[in-house]
Amino acid sequence: MSAKLHALGIIKSYIGGKSEIVVDAGNTIRETMRALNIPSEIVALVLVNDAPQAKEYRVQAGDVIKLIAVVGGGVNEFRNE
């Protein structure tokens, strides 16, 4: 039983540059992030099936999860300078 996880912005770099991976259902979002080594403190917003959810939300089979990073402008541009 699985769900899809989309990473937006800099979170992609934590899942090997991919924008989508498959994750197990049954865990909370927070547990899922921990397992993937995505620091919770850079995730500003969690959307599940396009509705905002708390990080304590328990992933259901078939969910589409989006993790939205804190942005703040031009992280990459700055690093490239």
Binding site residues, other proteins, CB under 8 A: 8-10, 39-45, 47, 50-52, 54-55, 66, 68, 70-75, 77-78, 81
53 neighbors 47 (Cβ within 8 angstroms) = yes
Lookup: tokens for 18: 């991919």
Q: Which residues lie below 8 Å from residue 19, measured CB to CB, with a gap of 6+?
A: 6, 7, 8, 12
- Closest approach, Cβ 10 to other proteins, in A, equals 7
- Closest approach, Cβ 21 to other proteins, in A, equals 16
52 vs 61 by CB, closer to other proteins: 52
